[in-house]
Structure 1
Amino acid sequence: MSQAEVHHINHPLIQHKLTLMREKDRSTSSFRRLLHEISMLMAYEVTRDMPTQLIDIETPLETMQSPVIDGKKTVFVSILRAGNGFLDGMLSVVPGARVGHVGLYRDPKTLGAVEYYFKMPHSMHERDAVVLDPMLATGNSAVAAVDRLKETNPKSIRFVCLLAAPEGIKNFHEAHPDVPIYTAAIDRGLNDHGYILPGLGDAGDRMFGTK
């Protein structure tokens, strides 16, 4: 991967569903369903260059060699709690993937990330990690999560989000220029409270119906 790489996934289906998610009157169940659908669609782009290997199979007519992926070598790393909204859709596409969790919350005064949970599968040095969090706002949580993840020495790391702010992209790639970002939208910027504008509000609150 090149340095400071950002993949803007602008497929019409993804953009259409994202527009529906942004609407302030969208119900919690509809918001969750749309996020699930978008994460499935984004998974195709994120895994586009996933390595395959040839195996021998038998069709109804003859034997042949055909490619398969080793999903068990992929780890989806959910940044709690909103990352779990991405997780189910990704697992629908790569059901054999392992799952790791990083528990972080944003300090309301400093906007810094505070860790409260971290658990990864074993043998991370053999695995490709895909970090999931719907919002790349200040970038502090993403930076902290990848800092911890790198301690496990995964083969590769990718960061996937629904929305990104320029400030978050800059902060993240200053800390981790080797980790590519995959996002469905790059919004205008942040407000005084560190929320993305125009954004879609707090993804976790809208996903789980909390305020």
Structure 2
Amino acid sequence: MHTLIRDREITTPDFVFYLDRLIRLVVEHGLGHLPFTEKQIITPTGSIYMGVDFCKKLCGVSIVRSGESMENALRACCKGINIGKILIHRVGDNGQQLIYHKLPMDIAERHVLLLDPVLGTGNSANQAIELLIRKGVPEERIIFLNLISAPERIQCVCKRFSKLKIVTSEIDTGLSEEFRVIPGLGEYGDRYFGTDN
């Protein structure tokens, strides 16, 4: 699937189809890192089965715009999940500007799945994580879900937020001089939403 989504000749419908499959795998793997409790149930045969139950206080937070591509997979895995939004506008290559956020009122009590498909410079991710922490979310309750990461940025984010978990489907070679993930897959949001020319 990584070969297909990285091919510059792939059509937008195929790009979206294979990305959605990858996103679903990342979301499901991320859910496996949530705390759970044991739960006993009775099966249709009348047998007792000892299973598990996930934590109830969970929400997603997508970094607009690319992170929104991950919301459907999260909703498919977690019926009725609350999803917050964070909009961060890029100002040059190094600066970021928080423009907007709308989060669940009780976010400090929840486990948060932070959604952003590409970890390039890490500026947006760092700013979003800082906002969640300022809103009272303990760092160890944040799971950052993405698809492609630059190795030096994973180290940067993890060094800054040592209790955070990152779940990614592939670690690329690195960043170009223009701060683009290499080999990467181009302008993710434009390709996913069909706004590339």
What is the TM-score normalised by the length of structure 2? 0.88
> Larger deviation: 186-195 or 141-150?
186-195
SS of 1:83 mapped into structure 2: helix
Q: Which residue of 2 aligns with 1:86?
A: 70
Aligned counterpart in structure 2 of residue 33 of structure 1, from 9, 17, 33: 17
How many Å separate the matches in 1 of 2:95 and 2:155?
16
Per the alignment, do residues 185 and 60 of structure 1 end up closer, same or farther by CA in structure 2, a change over 3 Å counting? closer
SS of 1:34 mapped into structure 2: helix
Q: Which amino acid aligns with 2:106?
A: S
Aligned counterpart in structure 2 of residue 193 of structure 1, from 163, 178, 191: 178
SS of 2:5 mapped into structure 1: helix
Q: Which residue of 2 aligns with 1:205?
A: 190
> Larger deviation: 68-77 or 122-131?
68-77
Q: Which residue of 2 aligns with 1:110?
A: 93
**1:71 Cα deviation (Å)?**
6.4
Q: Which amino acid aligns with 1:194?
A: F
**1:167 Cα deviation (Å)?**
2.7
Render the CA deviation track for 1:70-127: whole Å, top value 9, x for unaligned.
Answer: 56511111011000111211221122322111111222x2332221111111212221
Render the CA deviation track for 1:22-48: whole Å, top value 9, x for unaligned.
Answer: 111112222122221111111221111
Aligned counterpart in structure 2 of residue 43 of structure 1, from 9, 27, 30: 27
Per the alignment, do residues 179 and 55 of structure 1 end up closer, same or farther by CA in structure 2, a change over 3 Å counting? closer
SS of 1:117 mapped into structure 2: strand
How many Å separate the matches in 1 of 2:172 and 2:12?
22
How many Å separate the matches in 1 of 2:171 and 2:44?
48
Q: Which residue of 1 aligns with 2:142?
A: 157
How many Å separate the matches in 2 of 1:57 and 1:172?
40
> Larger deviation: 198-207 or 185-194?
185-194
C-alpha RMSD of matched pairs (Å): 2.0
Per the alignment, do residues 183 and 55 of structure 1 end up closer, same or farther by CA in structure 2, a change over 3 Å counting? closer
Per the alignment, do residues 171 and 91 of structure 1 end up closer, same or farther by CA in structure 2, a change over 3 Å counting? same
1:23 is the counterpart of 2:7: yes
Q: Which residue of 1 aligns with 2:114?
A: 131
Report how many residues are paired. 194
SS of 2:168 mapped into structure 1: strand
Identical-residue share of aligned pairs (%): 32
Q: Which amino acid aligns with 1:185?
A: E
Per the alignment, do residues 166 and 49 of structure 1 end up closer, same or farther by CA in structure 2, a change over 3 Å counting? closer
Render the CA deviation track for 1:170-209: whole Å, top value 9, x for unaligned.
Answer: 3212321221211111111111221101100011111112
5 Å-filtered alignment, 1:164-179, equals 164-179=149-164
What is the TM-score normalised by the length of structure 1? 0.83
How many Å separate the matches in 2 of 1:204 and 1:128?
26
How many Å separate the matches in 2 of 1:137 and 1:181?
14
Render the CA deviation track for 1:110-157: whole Å, top value 9, x for unaligned.
Answer: 332221111111212221011111110010010000000111222500
SS of 2:146 mapped into structure 1: strand
